[in-house]
Amino acid sequence: RKEVEQDPGPFNVPEGATVAFNCTYSNSASQSFFWYRQDCRKEPKLLMSVYSSGNEDGRFTAQLNRASQYISLLIRDSKLSDSATYLCVVNSYSGAGSYQLTFGKGTKLSVIP
């Protein structure tokens, strides 16, 4: 079974802290990787794609280790507005020319004043 596993959380951190989320995936043929953010009772929103060389977007850094089938998201200088659930998402070939996303259950982050 193709699965995406994440730290269960919740993570409660003070403002300004650095927090790291980890994710592992079971399908070694997975093609692309994403982090989504989901606020309470809202739809998920794409935070960033994850590239093999690692990539950064402001305070957010994503890393991918294909050999270990491991993805990470680092948030520096946490803000109150970063409080949300972070979903690790993996895109894998599912046959007949189509790809499917597999979602982790998410890790809840609460940034405390």
Partner 1 sequence: DGGITQSPKYLFRKEGQNVTLSCEQNLNHDAMYWYRQDPGQGLRLIYYSQIVNDFQKGDIAEGYSVSREKKESFPLTVTSAQKNPTAFYLCATKLGPQPNYGYTFGSGTRLTVV
Applying CB under 8 A, which residues contact partner 1? Answer: 4, 31-32, 34, 36, 41-46, 49, 87, 89, 91, 93, 96-106
Distances (CA, A) of 41 to 22, 35, 84, 109: 23, 18, 10, 15
Between 76 and 105, CB nearer to partner 1: 105
> Least separation, in Å, of the C-beta of 53 and partner 1?
13
Q: Which two tokens stand for residue 46?
A: 């794409």
> Between 43 and 67, whose beta carbon lies closer to partner 1?
43
| Amino acid letter, 68 | S
- In the complex, minimum distance from the CB of residue 71 to partner 1, in angstroms, rounded to a whole number: 14
Euclidean distance between CA atoms 18 and 85, whole angstroms: 16
